[in-house]
Amino acid sequence: MSTERINTPDLNTPSEPFVVEALTAEQIKEELTRQYPSKVKRKRDKQIVLNEKKKDESGSLTLPVINANTRTSPGIITQRGCTYAGCKGVIMGPTRDIINITHGPIGCGYYSWLTRRNQTKPPTEEHDNYIPYSFSTDMQDENIIFGGEKKLKAAIKEAYEMFHPKAIAVFATCPVGLIGDDVHQACREMKRELVDCNVFAFSCEGYKGVSQSAGHHIANNGVFQNMVGNQTKEPKGKFKINLLGEYNIGGDAFVLEEMFEKCGITLLSTFSGNSTVEQFEQAHWAELNCVMCHRSINYVADMIEKKYGAPWIKVNFIGAKATAKSLRKIAEFFNDPDLTERVENFITAEYPAVLKAQAEILPRTEGKRAMLFVGGSRAHSYQELFSEIGMKTIAAGYEFAHRDDYEGRKVLPDIKVDADSRNIEELTVERDEELYREPKTNADLESLKNRDFFENYKGMMADMGEKAMIIDDVSHHEAEKLIEMCQPDIFCAGIKEKYAVQKLGVPCKQLHSYDYGGPYAGFQGAIQFYSDIDRMVNSKVKDMIKAPWE
């Protein structure tokens, strides 16, 4: 079998300066914030930056500093959600065999019921799957006045007696913290009483932190403390990895599971798309952690490394080229000729279809311009997909990412945790003397370490064009102005933005829900994405908007 490497060409490198119809990037930036009260303008000015890259004296790249992960300005119309959404909705929601009980009034549990498309596929009818269910203590006014712990314990008991799940997780909502319900104590008591059910809680009240991000951190801590490491027997398999920060939206994780299987890589767990309790419990046996969504899961990656020894690498399976690169990176880590051959064979088998799709679609998409304002990860990773069909990303931003996601992990030592996020617990993790295993340390790995192979996320800005507009926590006002001034060919955001953007005559691709399509991960996903974007940027709708008599 041939192990010749298939060429994964660069189709487009966004490098031209960002200029729109006589307006410079500076002028556009000024226009975005002109109407704000002065205090708000001062704050927003630090969250809107032009991507001016400079070389310092040593010749290494420096990026502008962006203000991120700070409180939202009231009234500005933010895209952001809350800590509960980050914890229950994002990280814990996708696991099919935990009963997730929302401790609060009915809304929080209701709105996070099946609304994120984290698909799951239990192998048989007998396997648990609670994802189509929403469980809540449905707090009433008397629970606010007299406390809700008693009702919470009764609800846990009722859930256990009806369903006998392996695990029950409890999520605190806004009023729970205020009235002083001790959800952790209640769970400890119930865990003792129920004996064969792991019961634990998350203090993810909506007001904590400044966004979903705090909820990610709280969920990481909870998973790590309550589940990771519980399986003491080493699972079978060669080249054991975990895939961290992949939530199986629209079946992305299914594509990746199949890919790993074909390459002979053993996937012990995914955090947390299509996941189970058992997967979390055996995650510490992995030799390598592969991080997809850096923002939501880098905490677990760091904690596993400290406690159990396995290092982590940043991977990206969004984009065909990125997928090939990430697979090769995993193969490079294990440095096994058989694995390398299987990876190359897989790429060789899959890539021609990608190139064919690119060649067919490129003439219709080349030179078109995209804007991406999505969560904490996809605003970066999806730029690869656009560049593969010749499209430029002229503006991008995250709802809730931190500076390291924009500027790269090298700025981590410079980040100051402000008062709004100080109360999010940082776990102190120590080496587990029994289970810690030294990471592989052959000579090659030493050289990999020197090449920034591990724990290196360079951030979004490094990959973006000169003077591209980078906007953190974009407001509705800024998004609308930006679209009016720059007339992008496509705008990527979420459900709240979609229809307002489309009223402006610009198609809006939802990159949270994928507009109920997908998958977009891996090679097959890339082809699907090219086709969806082609349909959207070339739709006939825009020719019909004006009435013939207007």
- Enumerate residues 242-271 that contact other proteins by CB under 8 A: none
Instruction: Assess 495 for contact with other proteins (CB under 8 A).
Output: yes
Q: Least distance to other proteins from the beta carbon of 63, Å? A: 28
**Choice between 412 and 541, CB closer to other proteins:** 541
- The half-sphere exposure of 206 on its side-chain side, counting CA atoms within 13 A, is 15
Q: Report the length, in residues, of the chain.
A: 550
- Which stretch of DSSP H or E encloses residue 334? helix 320-334
Q: Is the sign of the CA dihedral 11, 17, 23, 29 positive or negative?
A: positive
Read off the amino acid at residue 334. F
**Choice between 151 and 368, CB closer to other proteins:** 151
Please state, in angstroms and rounded to a whole number, the distance separating the CA atoms of residues 41 and 16.
28
Q: Binding other proteins by CB under 8 A: which of 29, 208, 295, 380? A: 208
Give backbone dihedrals phi and psi of 7, rounded to 5 degrees, phi first.
-75, 130
Instruction: Assess 125 for contact with other proteins (CB under 8 A).
Output: yes
Using CB under 8 A as the binding rule, the residues of this chain from 309 to 328 that contact other proteins are: none
Q: Binding other proteins by CB under 8 A: which of 210, 330, 361, 468? A: 210
Burial class from Cβ neighbours inside 10 Å (0-12, 13-18, 19+) for residue 234 reads exposed
Give the binding range for other proteins (CB under 8 A) out of 101-109, 260-268, 377-385, 531-539: 101-109
Counting residues that bind other proteins (by CB under 8 A) gives: 92
Please state, in angstroms and rounded to a whole number, the distance separating the CA atoms of residues 120 and 274.
4
Instruction: Assess 446 for contact with other proteins (CB under 8 A).
Output: no
- Which stretch of DSSP H or E encloses residue 272? strand 266-272
Q: Least distance to other proteins from the beta carbon of 379, Å? A: 17
Instruction: Assess 485 for contact with other proteins (CB under 8 A).
Output: no
- Which stretch of DSSP H or E encloses residue 244? strand 240-246
**Choice between 71 and 449, CB closer to other proteins:** 71
Q: And the tokens for 417?
A: 């945790």
Q: Binding other proteins by CB under 8 A: which of 480, 485, 515, 531? A: 480
Q: And the tokens for 62?
A: 């420096």
Q: Least distance to other proteins from the beta carbon of 457, Å? A: 26
Secondary structure E strands in 76-203? 98-103, 135-136, 167-172, 198-202
**Choice between 212 and 528, CB closer to other proteins:** 212
Which residues neighbour 92 within 8 Å (Cβ) at sequence distance 6 or greater? 98, 100, 169, 171, 202, 219, 222, 223, 272
Using CB under 8 A as the binding rule, the residues of this chain from 397 to 416 that contact other proteins are: none
Q: Binding other proteins by CB under 8 A: which of 48, 68, 82, 267? A: 82
Q: Binding other proteins by CB under 8 A: which of 45, 64, 476, 517? A: 476
Q: Binding other proteins by CB under 8 A: which of 8, 47, 69, 78? A: 78
Using CB under 8 A as the binding rule, the residues of this chain from 40 to 69 that contact other proteins are: 40
